[in-house]
């Protein structure tokens, strides 16, 4: 049997490899504390679950959904953006529900990238930006993002020939894995650059309501003219603790939204309607749960930052996202550090190298670990003698 070259060339998904190592250690009887995947441990709010329970009893929700989603959901997406960012979208032409934002992020490359085309991806960055490009037959050009630049790419440093070939520019703020944020001025510059070079901007913004210390993340659509060149991916997963229900959204340029809709209608059958009803309830129901969740995450962030600094790692406390990005001592690789933590004390962190060359020398920790387990993991780190 011969597999397709794209599959043969596919690197192991970062979290899949970590999960295998965790499973192996647990099979040996090791108690594991994981700060790995950014998967909220807090449950989906009860009023959102109640909407699912009601919808599950309705026979109309037992049949195939439509790929484009319920009209009521697309209206809810538009209303949410109006409320949160004071930006208006046509619900039928400029919004699209997704089976989790990851699905749309992976599929959108098929809308822009032909074999040999170029995508501009941040380094470090979410691996799916590059993987989706590869599936479409394209190539990725990595944009250096470093601590010194606030983890923002220097768009003016992109070589002219690269800018000429590029079809899309991926951005992600608040950022995974670094927790970095971008000011509105950065997006203003990015929109102007994209228009100058005829490049589409794909902004990944699922952490826009996971923020601390009074900080309010922005949307690229707060920039005048962004709609000419951009779409923005978002999700109920992190805002309302709905990762397991797999529902997200994309908004923006109508032509780009239509292209993604045409791809999706050929490869999936849409989001189960009962789950769409949950998302509608999340938008229009009580919002105090968002601040409640963030208070928990901020308290965990503060505990984590204090411990990491205590054991000699450099940390810039994030203003947003679910992640703490920690710089390792000189000469220590992220893979070795992460492997030793699992082997020595049963603690899981994510090696920064999995997010790109510029992630080397860092590890990522998620604040989505239950309080008692977080305290146990931090205790183990404080007493570890490995480094």
- Per-residue pLDDT, averaged over 242-262, amounts to 97
Residues 193, 67 share a domain: yes
Pairing label, strands 95-98, 248-252: antiparallel
Residues 272, 300 share a domain: no
Assign 166 to helix, strand or coil: strand
**CA 320, CA 350: separation in Å to the nearest integer?**
18
Residues 215, 160 share a domain: yes
Helix (H) or strand (E) holding 139: strand 139-144
pLDDT tens digits along 126-169: 999 999 999 999 999 999 999 999 999 999 999 999 999 999 99
Q: Which of 284, 314, 331 is the last residue of a domain?
A: 284
Residues 206, 110 share a domain: yes
Residues 313, 165 share a domain: no
* Per-chain mean pLDDT for the chain: 95
Residues 190, 257 share a domain: yes
Assign 98 to helix, strand or coil: strand
Residues 91, 38 share a domain: no
Residues 127, 197 share a domain: yes
Is 254's pLDDT higher than 80? yes
Residue 13's pLDDT is: 66
pLDDT tens digits along 81-104: 999 999 999 999 999 999 999 999
Helix (H) or strand (E) holding 324: strand 323-327
Residue 10's pLDDT is: 81
Q: What DSSP string describes 268-293?
A: -----HHHHHHHHHHHHS--HHHHHH
pLDDT tens digits along 163-181: 999 999 999 999 999 999 9
Residue 14's pLDDT is: 66
Residues 56, 33 share a domain: no
Is 15's pLDDT higher than 70? no
- Per-residue pLDDT, averaged over 38-58, amounts to 97
Higher pLDDT, 15 or 355: 355
Residues 315, 266 share a domain: no
The percent helix, strand, coil of the chain (3-state, each to 5) is 50, 15, 35
Q: Which of 252, 284, 316 is the last residue of a domain?
A: 284
pLDDT tens digits along 300-349: 999 999 999 999 999 999 999 999 999 999 999 999 999 899 999 999 99
**CA 156, CA 192: separation in Å to the nearest integer?**
11
Residues 249, 326 share a domain: no
- Per-residue pLDDT, averaged over 100-129, amounts to 96
Q: pTM of the predicted model, to two decimals? A: 0.96
Is 16's pLDDT higher than 80? no
Residues 208, 72 share a domain: yes
Q: What is the dihedral of CA 201, 204, 209, 214, to 10 degrees?
A: -60
Residue 340's pLDDT is: 92
Which CATH number characterizes residue 208's domain?
A: 3.40.640.10
How many Cβ atoms sit within 10 Å of the Cβ of residue 91?
20
Which CATH number characterizes residue 335's domain?
A: 3.90.1150.10
- Per-residue pLDDT, averaged over 270-298, amounts to 98
- Give the domain range for residue 246: 46-284
Q: Which of 262, 284, 306 is the last residue of a domain?
A: 284
Give percent of the chain above pLDDT 70.
Answer: 99
Number of domains in the chain: 2
Residue 351 burial by Cβ neighbours in a 10 Å radius (0-12, 13-18, 19+) = buried
């Amino acid at each position: 049997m011969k597999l397709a070259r794209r599959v043969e060339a596919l690197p192991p998904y970062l979290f899949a490899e970590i999960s295998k190592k965790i499973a192996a250690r647990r099979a040996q009887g090791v108690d594991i504390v994981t700060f790995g995947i950014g998967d909220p441990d807090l449950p989906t709010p009860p009023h959102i679950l109640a909407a699912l329970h009601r919808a599950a009893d309705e026979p109309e929700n037992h049949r195939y959904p439509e790929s484009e989603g319920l009209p009521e959901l697309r209206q809810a997406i538009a209303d949410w953006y109006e409320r949160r960012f004071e930006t208006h979208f046509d619900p039928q032409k400029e919004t699209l529900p997704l089976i989790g934002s990851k699905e749309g992020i992976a599929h959108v490359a098929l809308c822009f990238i032909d074999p040999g085309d170029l995508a501009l991806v941040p380094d470090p960055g979410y691996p799916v930006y590059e993987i989706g490009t590869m599936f479409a037959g394209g190539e990725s050009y990595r944009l250096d993002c470093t601590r010194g630049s606030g983890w923002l790419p220097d768009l003016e440093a992109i070589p002219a020939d690269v800018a000429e070939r590029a079809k899309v520019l991926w951005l992600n703020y608040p950022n995974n894995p670094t927790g970095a944020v971008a000011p509105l001025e950065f997006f203003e510059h990015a929109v102007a650059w994209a228009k100058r070079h005829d490049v589409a901007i794909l902004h990944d913004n699922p952490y826009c309501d996971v923020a601390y210390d009074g900080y309010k993340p922005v949307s690229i659509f707060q920039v005048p003219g962004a709609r000419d060149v951009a779409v923005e991916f978002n999700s109920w997963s992190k805002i309302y603790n709905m990762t397991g229900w797999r529902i997200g959204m994309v908004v923006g340029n109508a032509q780009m939204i239509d292209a993604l809709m045409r791809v999706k209608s050929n490869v999936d059958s849409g989001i189960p309607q009962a789950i769409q009803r949950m998302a509608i309830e999340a938008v229009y129901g009580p919002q105090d749960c968002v601040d409640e969740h963030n208070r928990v995450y901020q308290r965990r962030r503060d505990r984590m930052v204090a411990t990491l600094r205590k054991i000699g790692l450099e940390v810039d406390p994030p203003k947003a996202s679910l992640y703490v990005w920690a710089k390792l001592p000189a000469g220590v690789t992220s893979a070795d550090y992460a492997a030793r933590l699992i082997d020595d004390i049963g603690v899981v962190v994510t090696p920064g190298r999995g997010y790109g060359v510029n992630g080397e020398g860092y590890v990522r920790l998620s604040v989505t670990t239950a309080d008692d387990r977080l305290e146990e993991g931090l205790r183990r780190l404080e007493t570890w003698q490995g480094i």
